Amino acid sequence: MEKPAVANHPHAALPPAPGADRHHCLDFADTAATLPAGQSYDLLAAPDSAMRWLATHDLTTPDVQLYEVCAQRMRTLRGHVRALFAARVEGVAPPEESLRAVNQALTAVPSAPLLAWDGAQGLRRVQAHPTDQAVNHALATIAADAADLLTGPDADLLAACGSAPCDRFLLRTHGRRHWCSTRCGDRARAARAYARRNDTSE
């Protein structure tokens, strides 16, 4: 049975995890999360919320209309990015289909600015962003960022939130911190204190 989604409540979503300011792909992976008391949220659950996420991260323009098929593609790529992150954190081989999906997103659009001509400016290089390919470009950007994170110096800092049931990812930007938010850190400390009290009372 699916957990109740609370994506329609803007304050339900946790703040960006440490490292999300450096890597959009981290924030992308964390657009869905499990919360205590059997709750969850999904910021890509509907086209309008998915569009808001893209616009907030400067990955599309306001004139682009997002349809459910596009939101579904975003959710699918998110699942694959999360699978790659989880494999890296656990030190296991990544799923073959997730590698394929990220590579397909990477190669779906031209990565180099194209050569164009117009009467006023003559020859110039332009980044192709036709409206019907806006989501392709956004997903390619996210996939490239994920590939850079997984192969770059920040890869060793990638971690899963250590406060169950939260399942978000973060970069350990402060020592050995394993919490994606203050709320999760407080919950983990409270759980440890409770466990210690129980140990001493027995």
Over residues 109-147, the pLDDT tens digits come to 776 778 888 888 899 887 765 555 788 989 999 999 999
Beta bridge partners of 160: 169
pLDDT, residue 2, reads: 37
Tell me the whole-structure pTM to 2 decimals: 0.81
Residue 63 CB contacts under 8 Å (≥ 6 apart), including other chains: 131
Pair of tokens at residue 74: 């975003």
- Compute the Cα dihedral for 49, 54, 58, 64 and give only its sign: negative
Higher pLDDT, residue 125 or 103: 103
User: Rounded to whole angstroms, how far apart are CA atoms 55 and 67?
Assistant: 15
pLDDT, residue 163, reads: 83
- Rounded to 10°, the helix 96-107/134-151 angle is 130
> Which tens digit of pLDDT belongs to each residue from 39-98?
899 999 999 999 999 999 999 887 788 899 999 999 999 999 999 999 999 999 999 999
Mean pLDDT of the chain: 84
Mean pLDDT of 12-29: 90
